[in-house]
Amino acid sequence: MALLDIKNLSVSVDETEILKNINLSIGKGETHVLMGPNGAGKSTLGNALMGNPQYEITSGNIYFNGLDLKDESTDKRAKAGMFMSFQNPLEIPGISLSSFIRNAIIQQTGEKLKFTEYRKNLSNNMALLSFDESYKERDLNVGFSGGEKKKAEILQLLMLKPKFAILDETDSGLDVDAVRTVSEGVREFQKSGEGALLIITHSTRILESLHVDRTHILVKGQIVESGDGSLVDKINKEGFERYLAE
Amino acid sequence: MERERTEVNDIDRSIYDFRYSDEDFYKVDEGLTKDIVLQISKEKNDPEWMRDFRLKSLDIYNKLKVPDWGPDISGLNMDDIVTYVRPNTKMTTSWEEVPEDIKNTFERLGIPQAERTSLAGVGAQYDSELVYHNVKDEVSELGVVYTDMESALTGEYEEMVKEHFMKLVPPTDHKFAALHGAVWSGGSFVYVPKGVKVDIPLQSYFRLNAAGAGQFEHTLIIVSEGADLHFIEGCSAPKYNVANLHAGCVELYIGKNAKLRYSTIENWSKNMYNLNTKRAVCEEGGTIEWVSGSFGSHVSYLYPSSVLKGDDSHAEFTGITFAGNGQNLDTGAKMIHVGKRTSSFINTKSISKAGGISTYRSSITVLPNAEDSKASVSCTSLMLDDISRSDTIPAMDIRTDKVDIGHEAKIGRISDDAVFYLMSRGISEEDAKAMIVSGFADPVSKELPLEYAVEMNNLIQLEMKGAIG
């Protein structure tokens, strides 16, 4: 059985249907890419999977690790092993990046952390992301640049080690170097465990050095084509025009 | 001034809600009459001038009207309030001599422990009288006087008290100032001599235990030229179904180039009418810093005022107010610029939830002579749901052109996106909201001594419990 099974999923925002009848299966450790033009509903799928209350599931089901997630709250989904890297991470004053991640790990595992071990792990991952270590004591995302916010998201991904992570436009708005660093972090995540990924993107830069198992093209709320990693190269050359022609 | 920071254990609500019997305590009858005022005066062995002062205040009280511009206080009936309750003990300087029930109260509030670890002196008031008062020797040796008001009134500081008592807040100020003048009891007197810098804070804790009673403590602090002091005030009471009243009065005299920081965490129970008056006056180059956390009470009227009398004097007010279900908290600050090149800074945060009403009210007055002065106001409100209310009523009366005034007000709802973001990391909705509220309050908690910052955070966590659904 797949790790994530999306069955006939339709999603509305403010009573407008955005996603229609989505079917998608992601197995343990697999990396899937969701591509599509702006406004196709890519982020809507991410938000619906993560349980954002502003997105209403009008029909269909989401099964994750054998659980029916449709009516579960976002924190329960996270505890079950889901994660989402946000397109626009929120600024939260009053809690440092370091204590926030620590807090989240404790919430999810219910276990106490060895402080020194945690610090070491955090430092290593920050180094991997070329993330200035002084940021760990700064308030979560407050005053971070776009690139630093995305690094902070990938840092959380590496620290929380989810079973399944959605990366929602993690590469958008980043310069070439920052995309490379973030991509490095994602590759580390692929390497280090059995975590599955759904990478939502409308460009292909972040994918250049990553292994991709499946690619799905979302247009106007529907998956119009699925294929292996080579579909990414095809999109890279041809763009989405041919899907939009009809 | 270096601020001492210490660790204290977490608290839970029960530490405020327990209460003990007051059967053996001496009480005056309910209500307010000349006889009752005379009886209180006699019980307290007032000097004659104080007895006359009380009677004069009573007359003023009877003439003044209840304020009609703020939250409704019609639920407060003075005929039902017991204005004087004396615990059955004398004041002592040793916790061992404090009766068990009362000692337990303060133990549970963590006062003796805080005294051992981080305070230069402690006063503890139970109902109308101080039951414990002590100052560390090294502080007394500097000539610092920290005592209960009654001792100051009948001892060698009588003249000093007479010269300052209710001169800054006269009984004519408003109806509840007059009430205070008539029935005041307890409180603290502090005198810091010229040039003396007290490194660690003094603290008074006020506990109102008796149902249907009022607490009217008077705090008088005189910080002489070039001296420096941090004073902390804490208040709490158990919950009753009848109205309780707090009409204290705080008068702070800050000398030339002197500095006083006055920190308060107020957590009265939610049947309390908190009609408190606090005022400071700064001489040339003097500084007053107010730090204020208002969490409790049913209704509060609280606007600490600073009179910047001397040239180059400075006032800061940092405050947070948290209004929950059934609470109407009207809080803010007043700044009066009299001297030249005076400066004032107000920074407040208010939070309302579950139908609570939080109003920020302030006034800045700059008199014609206060040239080259600066005043800045920043008030931010956070509403946690659709049924709560938040208002800001800032008033300014500026009588000179040579002045620099800044004002910034923000009112907002808690961000659903931020809650979702935190929840996506496995944090529950309740904890996510508490985290956001704590972060919002953070600039204020940073100003508090650590044990109070911890207490404030705990209060926020407690207030946030059950905030969902």
Query: CA-to-CA distance for B434 and B457, rounded, in angstroms?
Result: 9
Distance of CA B365 to the CA centre of its chain: 22
Looking at residue B284, its pLDDT comes to 98
Both tokens assigned to B329: 């908290």
Cβ of B426 under 8 Å from any chain A Cβ? yes
Of B425, B429, B436, the CB nearest to A104: B425
Domain ranges of chain A: 4-91+161-244
Cβ of A1 under 8 Å from any chain B Cβ? no
Say if B469 falls within a structural domain: no
Quote the Cα angle for B2-B6-B11, to 5°: 140
Nearest CA in chain A to B415: A90
The predicted model gives B97-111 an average pLDDT of 83
Looking at residue B234, its pLDDT comes to 86
Nearest CA in chain B to A161: B425
Q: Distance from B443 to chain A by nearest Cα, in Å?
A: 8
> Which of B419, B422, B447, B456 best probes binding to A when mutated, by most A CB atoms within 10 angstroms?
B422
Query: CA-to-CA distance for A129 and A123, rounded, in angstroms?
Result: 10
Q: Which of B352, B351, B327, B355 is nearest to B271 (CA)?
A: B327
Residues of A in contact with B448 (CB under 8 A): none
Nearest CA in chain B to A53: B420
Say if B5 falls within a structural domain: no
User: What is the residue range of B387's domain?
Assistant: 14-464
Nearest CA in chain B to A140: B439
Say yes or no for a CB contact (<8 Å) between A78 and B418. no
> Which of A86, A90, A159 best probes binding to B when mutated, by most B CB atoms within 10 angstroms?
A90
Helix (H, G, I), strand (E, B) or coil at B9: coil
Looking at residue B447, its pLDDT comes to 83
More confident residue, A175 or B23: A175
Beta partners for A227? A215
Of A231-245, B322-336, B394-408, which range is least confident? A231-245
Say if B380 falls within a structural domain: yes
CATH for A4-91+161-244, options being 3.40.190.10, 3.30.70.870, 3.40.50.300, 2.60.40.10: 3.40.50.300
The predicted model gives B143-152 an average pLDDT of 93
State the total domains in chain B: 1
Query: CA-to-CA distance for B299 and B399, rounded, in angstroms?
Result: 33
> Which of A73, A75, A90 best probes binding to B when mutated, by most B CB atoms within 10 angstroms?
A75
Looking at residue A246, its pLDDT comes to 57
- Indicate whether B7 pLDDT > 60: no
Say yes or no for a CB contact (<8 Å) between A94 and B442. yes
Count of CB contacts below 8 A, A vs B? 73
Say yes or no for a CB contact (<8 Å) between B421 and A90. yes
The predicted model gives B135-159 an average pLDDT of 92
Nearest CA in chain A to B441: A94
Helix (H, G, I), strand (E, B) or coil at A101: helix
Of A54, A92, A104, the CB nearest to B418: A92
The predicted model gives B237-259 an average pLDDT of 91
Residue type, B200: I
Looking at residue B26, its pLDDT comes to 85
Residues of A in contact with B420 (CB under 8 A): 50, 52-54, 74
Cβ of A143 under 8 Å from any chain B Cβ? no
Say if B7 falls within a structural domain: no
Say if B292 falls within a structural domain: yes
Query: CA-to-CA distance for A82 and B158, rounded, in angstroms?
Result: 70
Say yes or no for a CB contact (<8 Å) between A93 and B423. no
Of A53, A83, A94, the CB nearest to B439: A94
Mean pLDDT of chain A: 92
- Indicate whether B235 pLDDT > 50: yes
Q: Distance from A142 to chain B by nearest Cα, in Å?
A: 11
Say if B153 falls within a structural domain: yes
Query: How crowded is residue A76: how many other Cβ atoms within 10 Å of its Cβ?
Result: 16
pLDDT in tens, B10-44: 334 455 677 777 766 888 888 899 999 999 999 99
